């Protein structure tokens, strides 16, 4: 066993287990990252205080399983999506659904706010990006009300625009993908970029650059299950997990592969499993189909352990690293639990 040179949270702190059935997604809130939201196959979204292990609130309203969610940069609302082919916008405090964005023809796998993240700037969250099984990415305007209020002229077209068809159709639909969109990553607004990176089952990672008006398609080969743009160098690298049981660190500038993270015993061929950078991007964290949590050193792309212990009974569906410090890590699994990992005390 190789002595790990880098560390990541390995001590089990809490088990959040009120979800019935698989937990599909877990996300930290923005800015403080003290809370997290999780969505599961039991059609509920739960708000947790992970460090305390307490469930704060349950959001019920989905008619089908929840597959993805994202929290608005101002933490006041969040968006969730899933089997009911609509993106629901929730008010965090009241737990009510404020908007329902319909337009996809398949279940929606992932939803992301533009301009979120830890360093969310003011005015982020103008656009919501949703990726669906129907191989479309839709961009939704989250600011249409503001248009009404700040527009200099209130013309008759306002009526047409107000809360109806105009507001309900997406700003734009990206139809380049040839298969189900599994993952979307949006570089943090602090990076001053305007990009949308999508991962698709057709094995292509597509980067839409709004500023430059370019679409860059990088063929990975195997179905891509998760794309994570590097939080520190979003213009340079992206982590791509695909169903050939390997995770690749790709150079975004020229499409070359920087590193491959794989292991003989690491098997991820069936499920979507969100991978994550460890804090500081020292490690790459990923769960496999058996429920083991793997970690690779990003420098030498070697696994930190030969055979990690099985931390979940079933496949790990989501690994979420605390965006602000390296002290916490969340893993969501199909066994219905979310485990909160913390760093071992220094001895």
Kindly list the residues in this chain that would bind another protein in the complex (CB under 8 A).
114, 123, 126-127, 139, 141, 143, 147, 151-153, 155-158, 160-161, 169-178, 194, 203-204, 206, 208-221, 248, 250, 254-257
Nearer to another protein, 228 or 340 (CB): 228
Nearer to another protein, 95 or 255 (CB): 255
User: What is the closest distance, in whole angstroms, from the C-beta atom of residue 231 to another protein in the complex?
Assistant: 19
- Partners of residue 261 on adjacent β-strands: 247
Distance in angstroms (rounded) separating the CA atoms of residues 246 and 171? 35
Residue of 225, 198, 252 whose CA lies nearest to 315: 225
User: What is the closest distance, in whole angstroms, from the C-beta atom of residue 116 to another protein in the complex?
Assistant: 13
Give me the helices (H) in 93-180, please.
144-150, 157-161, 165-168
Nearer to another protein, 17 or 102 (CB): 102
Nearer to another protein, 7 or 172 (CB): 172
SS3 content of the chain, % helix, strand, coil (to 5): 5, 45, 50
Distances from the Cα of 226 to the Cα of 81, 164, 238, 239, 320, angstroms: 16, 34, 10, 8, 12
User: What is the closest distance, in whole angstroms, from the C-beta atom of residue 40 to another protein in the complex?
Assistant: 31
Q: E-strand spans in 72-180?
A: 77-82, 86-91, 97-102, 108-113, 127-132, 137-141, 172-174
User: What is the closest distance, in whole angstroms, from the C-beta atom of residue 175 to another protein in the complex?
Assistant: 3
Nearer to another protein, 44 or 207 (CB): 207
User: What is the closest distance, in whole angstroms, from the C-beta atom of residue 217 to another protein in the complex?
Assistant: 4
Which residues, 6 or more positions from 94, have their beta carbon under 8 angstroms from its beta carbon?
none
User: What is the closest distance, in whole angstroms, from the C-beta atom of residue 248 to another protein in the complex?
Assistant: 8
Give me the helices (H) in the chain, please.
144-150, 157-161, 165-168
Nearer to another protein, 8 or 261 (CB): 261
Nearer to another protein, 161 or 271 (CB): 161
User: What is the closest distance, in whole angstroms, from the C-beta atom of residue 244 to another protein in the complex?
Assistant: 9
Q: Is residue 194 within 8 Å of residue 210, measured between CB atoms?
A: yes
């Amino acid at each position: 066993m190789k002595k790990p040179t880098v560390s990541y949270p390995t001590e089990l702190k809490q088990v959040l287990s009120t979800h019935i059935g698989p937990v599909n997604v877990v996300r930290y809130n923005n800015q403080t990252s003290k809370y997290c939201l999780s969505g599961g196959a039991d059609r509920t979204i739960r708000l947790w205080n992970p460090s305390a292990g307490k469930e704060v609130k349950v959001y019920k309203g989905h008619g089908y399983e929840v597959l993805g969610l994202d929290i608005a940069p101002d933490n006041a609302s969040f968006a969730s999506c899933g089997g009911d082919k609509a993106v629901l916008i929730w008010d965090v405090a009241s737990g009510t659904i404020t908007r329902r964005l319909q337009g996809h023809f398949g279940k929606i796998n992932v939803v992301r706010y533009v301009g979120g993240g830890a360093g969310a700037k003011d005015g982020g969250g103008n656009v919501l990006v949703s990726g669906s099984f129907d191989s479309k990415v839709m961009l939704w305007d989250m600011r249409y009300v503001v248009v009404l209020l700040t527009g200099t002229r209130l013309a008759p077209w306002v009526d047409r625009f107000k809360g109806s068809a105009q507001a309900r159709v997406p700003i734009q639909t990206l139809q380049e993908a040839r298969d189900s969109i599994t993952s979307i990553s949006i570089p943090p607004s602090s990076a001053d970029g305007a990009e949308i990176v999508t991962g698709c089952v057709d094995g292509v990672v597509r980067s839409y650059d709004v500023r430059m008006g370019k679409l860059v398609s990088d063929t990975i080969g195997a179905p891509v299950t998760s794309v994570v743009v590097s939080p520190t160098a979003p213009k340079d690298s992206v982590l791509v997990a695909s169903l050939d049981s390997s995770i690749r660190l790709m150079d975004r500038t020229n499409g070359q592969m920087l590193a491959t993270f794989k292991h003989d015993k690491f098997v991820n061929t069936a499920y979507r499993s969100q991978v994550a950078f460890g804090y500081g991007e020292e490690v790459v964290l990923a769960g496999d189909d058996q429920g083991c949590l793997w970690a690779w050193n990003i420098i030498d792309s070697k696994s930190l352990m030969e055979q990690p212990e099985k931390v979940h009974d079933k496949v790990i569906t989501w690994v979420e690293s605390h965006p602000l410090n390296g002290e916490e890590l969340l893993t969501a699994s199909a066994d219905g639990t979310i485990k909160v990992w913390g760093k071992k005390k220094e001895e």
